[in-house]
Amino acid sequence: MMSMEENKKIYDVMILGAGPAGLTAALYAARGGLSVLVIEKGIDGGQIAATDKVENYPGQVLEGESGESLSKRMALQAERFGAVKVQDVIAEASLDQEVKELRGQKETYLARYVILAMGASARPIGCKGEERFKGSGISYCATCDGNFFTGLDVYVAGGGDAAVEEAVFLTRFARKVTIVHRRNQLRAAKSIQEKAFQNPKISFLWDSVVEEAYGEGVLQGLVIRNVKTGELTRIEADPADGMLGLFGFVGNIPSSALVKGIVDMDEKGYIQTDEDMRTSLKEVYAAGDIRVKNVRQVVTAAADGAVAAVHISAEYQPYV
């Protein structure tokens, strides 16, 4: 239903999310001659905006370039070809009609095609006290919060690429970084593992999870549970420090709640697509970390975005 929006611009494509998938889709769709709107709720770049270094994106050889600067360049490139960007939080979506509607806090946006590129966000660590100490000892972003923990002891939950890479980054600030991993082997790529094993500031608590976070106002202690023996160990902040840090990198959850029940998903909430990035709904595509796939990297997100945009450009029929 179009209702009060009769005079509103109807874009050819609107893209929800300005991470590598969304921004690449915007670049390709704009270069394909389509009018493009990108809607982002926060800052550009999605998860890489909070990544200190992106070393595995082809062509990424500038010394010291961060995920944030890479995403800024992606956004600039898409805008140079005419993509329009707005910041808004979309609350509702009507996608089963010819002109699709995304209703945001600021405005309603209309387009013929939609690309869902909302990505994923950090999964909670799952320990007691997690909510209480978010922002006062517990964080999910080393680039954003690492310097608050200068000279302190820091714990990192997880054993994947993110946990190990960010643990290495945190050694710039922390006195000591301990990786708490639920198995006795890391999941992270070997090249990333080697950096951690060689770093004298990093140690490991194997077969362990964080059971509880506690403290008076700030995070002052952790209870660690050995998953094999069930043994509980209390770790107290050095009294001279007054607090310690806990960073969670235990994987991600897809940001797909908006379209639950609208497009097909797997049991974890990742959106199902065909290899051209079409979802179960006509003229609605999905790209990047939000979709069911095996490899979630900047380069695969960008590739998804390009594939979606190329197929939309080929399919698109202007109104006559």
**Residues with catalytic function:** 141, 144-145
Site track 229-258 with ligand NAP (rule: CB under 6 A), x = hit: --------------------xxxx------
Please identify which residue in 34, 90, 142, 157 interacts with ligand NAP, judged by CB under 6 A: 157
The bridge status of strand 100-104 relative to strand 208-214 is unpaired
Closer Cβ to ligand NAP, 45 or 159, answer by number: 159
Q: Which residue is listed with tokens 């509607």? A: 101
Cα–Cα distance for residue pair 16/97, rounded to 1 Å: 17
The bridge status of strand 138-139 relative to strand 245-248 is parallel
Q: Enumerate residues 6+ apart whose C-beta is below 8 A from 198.
A: none
Q: Enumerate residues 6+ apart whose C-beta is below 8 A from 281.
A: 95, 96, 262, 263
Least distance CB 285 / ligand NAP (angstroms): 21
Q: Are 135 and 215 in contact (CB under 8 A)?
A: no
Site track 84-123 with ligand NAP (rule: CB under 6 A), x = hit: ----------------------------------------
Please identify which residue in 172, 183, 234, 260 interacts with ligand NAP, judged by CB under 6 A: 183
Closer Cβ to ligand NAP, 114 or 168, answer by number: 168
DSSP 270-313: PBP--TT-B-SSTTEEE-GGGBS-S---HHHHHHHHHHHHHHHH
Interaction of residue 126 with ligand NAP, rule CB under 6 A: yes
Please identify which residue in 182, 225, 278, 291 interacts with ligand NAP, judged by CB under 6 A: 182
Please identify which residue in 8, 132, 175, 187 interacts with ligand NAP, judged by CB under 6 A: 187
Q: Enumerate residues 6+ apart whose C-beta is below 8 A from 232.
A: 211, 223, 224, 225, 226
Query: Cα 298 from chain centroid?
Result: 10
By CB under 6 A, how many residues form the interface with ligand NAP? 20
Q: Enumerate residues 6+ apart whose C-beta is below 8 A from 47.
A: 19, 67, 119, 120, 121, 252, 289
Query: Cα 176 from chain centroid?
Result: 26
Closer Cβ to ligand NAP, 127 or 237, answer by number: 127
Q: Which stretch binds ligand NAP (CB under 6 A): 2-10, 133-141, 159-167, 308-316?
A: 159-167
Least distance CB 44 / ligand NAP (angstroms): 18
Least distance CB 210 / ligand NAP (angstroms): 8
Interaction of residue 160 with ligand NAP, rule CB under 6 A: yes
Q: Closest CB to ligand NAP belongs to which residue?
A: 160
Restricted to residues 203-222, the positions that interact with ligand NAP (CB under 6 A) are 209
User: The tokens of 70 are what?
Assistant: 């890479």
Closer Cβ to ligand NAP, 19 or 137, answer by number: 19
Please identify which residue in 2, 9, 42, 56 interacts with ligand NAP, judged by CB under 6 A: 56
Residues that bind ligand NAP (CB under 6 A): 56, 126, 157-163, 165, 182-183, 187, 209, 249-252, 296-297
